[in-house]
Structure 1
Amino acid sequence: MISLLSGTFLWCSENTVVIDVHGIGFEVTMTDAAVRDLAGTTTPVKIHTHLAVRDGEPVLYGFLTRSEVEMFLLLIQVNRVGPALALRILSQISIPDLAGAILDGDEAVLSRISGIGSKSAKRLILELGDKMKKRAALFVTGLPSGGDPVRRDAESALVALGFSHKEAVASVEAVLRGNSRSSDVAAVVRAALSLLREGS
C-alpha cells in the first residue's frame, strides 16, 4: 500500500498532479484546492495517499495533510460514499467545517454539498458522529478559535467528551471572556464543564 509520496511536482491537470519520485511519475487525484496549492511549486512535496480501485483501475488519491486523508478514510466507510464522492465532498467544505457539521448534526450544512442530499446528510451524521468524537482533536483543530491553542485544545477536549461543537465553543468563550490570559487547558475545561452542567 502506498501511503506517502515524497518527491517533486511535475505538472497538473484539472484534478490530478504528477509527482516525480526518483524518476517515477505518480499520477495523484486530489481536491481542487490541493491541485492549486501544488501547481508550479518547485520545492519537494509530501503527499499522504490512499490507493483505491475504480472501475477496475487503480487510482491514487492524495492529500496535503493527515487530517484530510483521515477524513477521507472515514467518509468512504459510509454506505454509498465512494472515493470519488468523498473527494468531491472535501473539495467543497473544509475539514473543520465538515467535522463541525457532523458533530452538531447540522443536516442543512451537509445538504448544501453537491452530491449530498438529505438522506446522505443523515447517513453521514449517523454513521460518523461517534467516530468523529473519538478523533475530535485531529479534525476540530482549525475550527475558528482565534489562533489560540488553549481555546482550541479546550474545545477539542469538550467535543471528545460528547458535547457538540457549538456547546464547546460557547462555554470556552464564556470562560475565557473572564480570564483571557489563562494558559491552563485543564482549568478551562473544568470551568467550561461547570457552566455546561449549570445550563443543563
Structure 2
Amino acid sequence: MIAHLSGEIASSGERWVVIDIGGIGYRVQVTRPALEILRQTEGRVTVHTHMAVRDDDIQLFGFLHPSERELFTILIGVSGIGPQIAMNILSGLSFEEFALAILNDDERALIRIPGIGQKSAKRLILELKEKMKGCAVDLSAGRRPEEAKDAESALISLGFSPAEAQQAVDAVLPTLGDRNLQALIRAALAHLRER
C-alpha cells in the first residue's frame, strides 16, 4: 500500500498529476482544488494517497491532507459510491461542508455534485450520519470553512503561495479558541514566521 508520495510535479492533466520520484513518474488522480494548488506549487510536494487495486487496474488517488483521504475511504465504503463519485464529492465540497450537509440532511447540497442523484444523497445521509457526528464537536465549535478560505486569500495577497497559505491555516485552525478571521490570520502569519 502506498500511503504518500513526495516529489516534484512532472506534468498534469484535467484531474491528475504525475509526481516524479527518483526518475519514476506516478500518475495520481486528484480533486480539482488539489490540482489547482499543486500546479501553483514549485519544488517538492507531498500527496497522501489511497491505492485502489482491481483485477485489471491499479489507481492512485491523491489528497493534500490525511483527513481528505480518510473521508474518501469512508465514501467508497458507501454502497453505490465508487472512487470517481467520491472524488467528485471532494472536488465539490470541503470536509466541513460535506459533514454539515450530512448532519443537516441537506440533500440539495449533495445533489449538486456530478454523479449524485436524490437516491444517492439519501443513502449518503443515512449511512454517514453517525460517522459525521464525530465531526460535530469541531463544527459546532465554530470551525467555518469561509473563515479558513478568507484567511488563505489574505495570506496569498501578502505574497505567500496558495500551498503555504493553506498549510499555515490548517496548522493553526485546530489550536485556536477564538476563531475569528483576524485571529486566524495572525496565528497563520506567526506559524509561517516560525518556519
Query: TM-score with structure 2 length normalisation?
Result: 0.70
SS in 2 for 1:39: helix
The whole-number CA distance in structure 2 between the counterparts of 1:144 and 1:82 is 26
Count of residues in correspondence between the two structures: 154
Is contact 1:30–1:61 with CA below 8 Å preserved after alignment?
yes
The answer to whether residue 107 in structure 2 is matched with residue 107 in structure 1 is yes
The whole-number CA distance in structure 1 between the counterparts of 2:56 and 2:139 is 32
Counterpart in 2 of 1:180?
none
Counterpart in 1 of 2:72?
72
In structure 1, which of residues 122, 147, 150 is the aligned counterpart of residue 177 of structure 2?
150
Deviation string for 1:72-116 (max 9, x for gaps)? 111101000011110011112222111110111111211222211
- Greater shift after overlay, 6-15 or 135-144? 135-144
Deviation string for 1:10-53 (max 9, x for gaps)? 11011110111122111100112211211153221110000113
- Greater shift after overlay, 7-16 or 143-152? 143-152
The answer to whether residue 156 in structure 2 is matched with residue 129 in structure 1 is no
Counterpart in 2 of 1:11?
11
Is contact 1:7–1:21 with CA below 8 Å preserved after alignment?
yes
The whole-number CA distance in structure 2 between the counterparts of 1:38 and 1:57 is 25
The answer to whether residue 23 in structure 2 is matched with residue 23 in structure 1 is yes
- Greater shift after overlay, 73-82 or 48-57? 48-57
The answer to whether residue 81 in structure 2 is matched with residue 81 in structure 1 is yes
SS in 2 for 1:150: coil
Is contact 2:107–2:121 with CA below 8 Å preserved after alignment?
yes
The answer to whether residue 60 in structure 2 is matched with residue 60 in structure 1 is yes
SS in 1 for 2:109: helix
Distance 1:40 1:143, change over 3 A: closer
The whole-number CA distance in structure 2 between the counterparts of 1:100 and 1:80 is 21
Unaligned runs of 5+ in 1: 153-175, 177-200
- Greater shift after overlay, 35-44 or 111-120? 35-44
The whole-number CA distance in structure 1 between the counterparts of 2:60 and 2:99 is 24
The whole-number CA distance in structure 2 between the counterparts of 1:138 and 1:8 is 33
Amino acid at match of 1:93: L
The whole-number CA distance in structure 2 between the counterparts of 1:104 and 1:15 is 30
Paired-residue identity, % = 47
Distance 1:3 1:135, change over 3 A: farther
Query: TM-score with structure 1 length normalisation?
Result: 0.68
SS in 2 for 1:42: coil
* Offset at residue 142 of structure 1 (A): 4.6
Larger gyration radius, structure 1 or structure 2: 1
Distance 1:57 1:127, change over 3 A: same
Is contact 1:9–1:40 with CA below 8 Å preserved after alignment?
no
The whole-number CA distance in structure 1 between the counterparts of 2:145 and 2:17 is 30
